[in-house]
A = this chain, B = another copy of it.
Amino acid sequence: MKVYNFSAGPSMLPEEVKLSAQKDFLDYEGSGMSVTEMSHRSKWYDAIHQEALASLRKLMNIGDDYDVLFVQGGASQQFAAVPLNLLVKGKADYIVTGNFAGKAAKEATKYGDCVVAASSKDKVFTYIPEGVKFRDGIDYVHITQNNTIFGTRYTDRTFPVADCPIVSDMSSMILSEEVDVNKYGLIYAGAQKNIAPAGLTIVIVRKDLVGHEKDYCPTMLSYKTQADADSLYNTPPCFAIYMAMLVFRHLLKLGGVKEIQKINEYKAKLLYDFIDNSSLYTNPVKPEDRSLMNVPFVTGSDELNAKFVKEAEKAGLVSIKGHKLVGGMRASIYNAMPVEGVEALIAFMKKFETENK
């Protein structure tokens, strides 16, 4: 049975990427070795590392005034690394638009005068606050650009206007739509949604923000450590970086972020339109703030939601259960989810609606 994996992360990888990784698993490019076991100082791995870095720069049009780092620990580790490295004046403002945004804001309070400048908690995180005012003299404003659990995202309308660097957690939307990197001081993202298997974290940081870490910042969390060593200070997560390289190649071949964005907008519109026209399903998010990547929806009853999840799994539509904070269902339709996967989901939803009227 063909399986479509709607997991919020780790999530689907492109078919051609998986096939390529499988084919080369025992012997990468005649090295006689698997990428899982080769030295990170070998010529084979070095070529992978450099291609991955260069491809990401190309895909996101990242200028020379930014460092691109491959690190470990996930976005959760960046919740500490960001204030440890960026707090110089000692103050930062956070916009809390969901669970992970809240965790980032809380972690930052360990390291300085970090406060919540705005929150959408009042309406269960179903929108993105607009026109937020920030304090003077802050080191940065932190946003979570796409909220995986609640299914919202920032657009130009809600993007913060501030005199300081903007820091963005792009974990669940990186490479899904075009962004102007120059609008950010720092971008970070766990790779396990749109880029690679879990275990790799991307950091894109403006060079002038590097080198100001606190005395007690762990060496491994210092951006300067990683930038100076080209992300090879110690052994990097080589296999995840290799898979990232394959995903970047795949995206470049497709025509880059611009092209995948069109497909993502098409997939999301299909699903939201169906939900909005349905008499059974609803999505609670303010329409103009809806995520292109994570689409939460519910039926009117917990019982029916549970039945949906169970029957969907039997039909090959897996990991579609909503996060416990929201309940119901969530379809994560990242870059690697084909249009056919969304169509299969909609067909199932139609059938389920008819059967459960």
Interface residues of A (CB under 8 A from B): 1-3, 5, 7-13, 18-19, 21-22, 25-26, 31-42, 72-77, 79-81, 84, 107, 110-111, 190, 192, 196-200, 215-216, 218-221, 233-240, 243, 316, 318-319, 336
Contacts and interface: CB of A to CB of B under 8 A. Distances in A.
Given A32-B1, A32-B2, A199 B39 contact: no
Contact of A219 (B21, B76, B192, B216): B76
Nearest first, the 10 A-B pairs at minimum CB distance are A3-B32, A199-B237, A80-B218, A7-B39, A36-B197, A72-B72, A22-B25, A76-B234, A199-B199, A77-B220
B216 A73 contact: no
Contacts of A25: 18, 21-22, 25
Most B C-beta atoms less than 10 A away, residue of A75, A107, A219: A219
B234 A75 contact: yes
20 contacts: A3-B31, A5-B39, A10-B37, A10-B38, A10-B235, A10-B238, A11-B39, A22-B26, A32-B316, A38-B319, A40-B198, A72-B237, A74-B220, A76-B219, A77-B218, A80-B220, A110-B215, A198-B235, A199-B240, A237-B237
B33 A318 contact: yes
Nearest to A316: B32
A197 B336 CA distance: 24
A10 B26 CA distance: 15
A240 to B, nearest CB: 6
A7 B33 CA distance: 11
A200 B221 CA distance: 16
A11 to B, nearest CB: 6
A321 to B, nearest CB: 9
A318 B218 CA distance: 34
Nearest to A21: B25
Most B C-beta atoms less than 10 A away, residue of A73, A75, A81, A110: A73
A153 to B, nearest CB: 20
Contacts of A74: 72, 220, 234-235
A196 B237 CA distance: 11
A216 B243 CA distance: 34
Contacts of A236: 198-199
Nearest to A103: B219
A308 to B, nearest CB: 17
A336 to B, nearest CB: 8
Contacts of A81: 218
A81 to B, nearest CB: 7
Contact of A233 (B35, B76, B237): B76
